[in-house]
Amino acid sequence: MAQWLNDDEMGAWRAFVEVNAHLMAALEADLAPHRLTLGDYEVLVHLSEADERQLRMCDLALRLGLSPSGLTRRLDGLVKSGHVERRPSTADRRVMLATLTDQGLAAMRDAADDHVASVRRHLIDRLDAAQIDALREIFTSVGDGLGRTLTIA
């Protein structure tokens, strides 16, 4: 039988669950004028940081925590808008690459200031330095427990 949460644990859990949905909605709303979702923006960032602005589809799916079909659905709109291209690898024809286009890089850069301002307004500026350190430690520990290595540590 599972050990029930005590009052402090329940309070922390409920605060996370209830605020997380609203925080993500606020971040999504601030990206909407750029015609990007938070998921789209995350794809563009990962690709912009990759060598030659491209990643194997399986690696991108792993970074995003998506199934192959979930990644396909996520990329469909970005491919249609010209932000991302799917290309076969020249090194291994069995491998497909997701490649950030110049248009996609421009779209990400155009949205970046608004996105960072949104993250700052809704989260960072509400915390002091110790809370920011604690937040990093908390989610690094949770990520480790899930077998997820953070791409930015």
pLDDT at 152: 60
- For the domain made up of 31-112, the CATH class stated in words is mainly alpha
- Which residues, including other chains, have CB under 8 Å from residue 92's CB and lie 6 or more apart? none
State how far the alpha carbon of 4 is from the alpha carbons of 10, 12, 17, 23, 29, in Å: 9, 14, 17, 27, 36
Run means of pLDDT, 10 residues per run, the chain, 153 residues: 93 95 96 96 97 95 92 95 95 92 98 97 97 94 82 57
CA 124 – CA 132 distance, rounded (Å): 7
Structure confidence at residue 153 (pLDDT):
47
Angstrom distance (rounded) from CA 26 to CA 108 = 18
Provide the residue ranges of all domains of the chain, joining segments of one domain with +.
Answer: 31-112
Secondary-structure breakdown of the chain: helix, strand, coil percentages, each rounded to the nearest 5: 70, 10, 25
Give the pLDDT score at 151: 63
Which helix (H) or strand (E) element contains residue 84? strand 84-88
